């Protein structure tokens, strides 16, 4: 290990793990001791990263309140220090951390809030996708319909949530009092996506969630119709599927039709 490597390791250990070894490598003066000087870096590190986490998860931060969120931020930082070049990426594992770590796992809605906000953040700066318009459906020959598959826009994210975190998030975003958290036995399906520059989210009925998941998995239109028979009479499924497709297109979620894989 070179001298420079050793110094950097000691300095980083001071900042990240508060190991004091580095103090011997630093000049203390009458103005400020070595430890005082190093502590500026150590404190700024926690403050900066927790603040960044709060920007990436504003709903969770407001919902937990400043002190509890600070505690969470430091605990998360200790377990998942940033390894990405962008601080925008800090918090990618927060939902998982909340779901598995005590005491947070006792409140599963916290992990769901983090997953929901991470989906919003992901949709916000996902790659731009040229979207189809409903008119594009008009040029498809009848024989092509059954074998048609769908490429979804890059911003589309699917979540299943047991709790009402989207409503809580929305209230916080509008500076209103959030509703009390509620949880249901069966999760509700949600999508988050961006149309042009605006990020949207909505819940899906069970049959729509199934159809969208099938479309995202690359199933052709005929297979989606067949699957929808579970919820609708066979003579109505084609119209039902076409209706869903039109909605997805007009919401700006479909990028392309494809006929071969």
Partner 1 sequence: MSGHQHTRPYLGFGLGLRPDHYETVLHSRPAVDWFEVLTENYLVPGGKPLHYLHSIREHYPMVMHGVSLSIGSTDPLDIAYLRRVKALAESIEAEWISDHLCWTGINGKNLHDLLPLPYTEEAIRHVVDSVSRVQDILGRQLLLENVSSYISYVDSVMTEWEFLSAVAERADCLILLDINNVYVSAFNHEFDPRSYLDQVPVERVRQFHLAGHRNLGHCIVDTHDAPVIDPVWELYAHAVRRFGEVSTMIERDDKIPPFKELLAELDHARRIASNVRAEVAA
Tell whether residue 87 is a contact of partner 1 (CB under 8 A): yes
* Rounded Cα–Cα distance for residues 127 and 221 (Å): 26
DSSP 83-142: -SS-GGGTTTTHHHHHHHSTTGGG-HHHHHHHHHHHHHHHHHTSPP-PPP-GGGGGG--G
Query: How far from each other are the two terminal CA atoms of the chain, in whole angstroms?
Result: 51
Radius of gyration, CA atoms only, the chain: 24
Q: Which of 67, 84, 174, 185 binds partner 1 (CB under 8 A)?
A: 84
The angle, 0 to 180 degrees and rounded to 10, between the axes of the packed helices 3-17 and 34-56 is: 60
Q: Which of 139, 141, 197, 233 binds partner 1 (CB under 8 A)?
A: 197
Tell whether residue 174 is a contact of partner 1 (CB under 8 A): no
Looking only at the bridges linking them, the beta strands covering 198-204 and 157-163 are: unpaired
Q: Which of 68, 75, 99, 126 binds partner 1 (CB under 8 A)?
A: 126
Tell whether residue 157 is a contact of partner 1 (CB under 8 A): no
Return the range that interacts with partner 1 (CB under 8 A); candidates 44-52, 57-65, 160-168, 228-236. 44-52
Tell whether residue 177 is a contact of partner 1 (CB under 8 A): no
Tell whether residue 11 is a contact of partner 1 (CB under 8 A): yes
Residues near partner 1 (CB under 8 A):
2-5, 7-9, 11-12, 15-16, 24-27, 29, 31-32, 34, 36-38, 40-41, 44-45, 48-49, 52, 81-88, 90, 123-128, 154-155, 194, 197
């Amino acid at each position: 290990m070179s001298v420079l490597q050793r110094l950097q390791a000691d300095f980083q250990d001071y900042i990240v793990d508060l190991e004091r070894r580095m103090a011997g490598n630093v000049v203390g003066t009458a103005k400020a001791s070595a430890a005082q000087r190093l502590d500026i870096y150590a404190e700024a590190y926690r403050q900066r990263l927790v603040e960044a986490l709060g920007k990436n998860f504003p709903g969770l931060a407001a919902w937990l309140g400043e002190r509890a969120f600070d505690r969470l931020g430091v605990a998360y930082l200790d377990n998942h220090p940033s390894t990405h070049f962008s601080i925008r990426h800090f918090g990618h594992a927060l939902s998982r951390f909340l779901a598995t770590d005590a005491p947070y796992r006792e409140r599963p809605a916290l992990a769901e809030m983090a997953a929901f906000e991470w989906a919003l953040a992901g949709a916000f700066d996902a790659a731009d996708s040229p979207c189809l318009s409903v008119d594009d459906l008009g040029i498809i020959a009848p024989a092509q319909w059954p074998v048609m598959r769908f490429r979804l826009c890059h911003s589309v994210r699917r979540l299943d949530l047991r709790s009402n975190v989207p409503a809580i998030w929305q209230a916080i975003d509008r500076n209103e009092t959030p509703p009390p958290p509620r949880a249901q036995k069966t999760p509700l399906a949600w999508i988050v996506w961006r149309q042009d520059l605006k990020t949207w989210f909505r819940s899906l009925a069970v049959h729509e969630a199934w159809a969208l998941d099938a479309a995202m998995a690359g199933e052709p239109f005929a297979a989606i119709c067949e699957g929808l028979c579970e919820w609708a009479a066979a003579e109505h499924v084609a119209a039902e599927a076409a209706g869903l497709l039109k909605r997805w297109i007009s919401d700006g979620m479909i990028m392309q039709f494809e006929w071969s894989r």
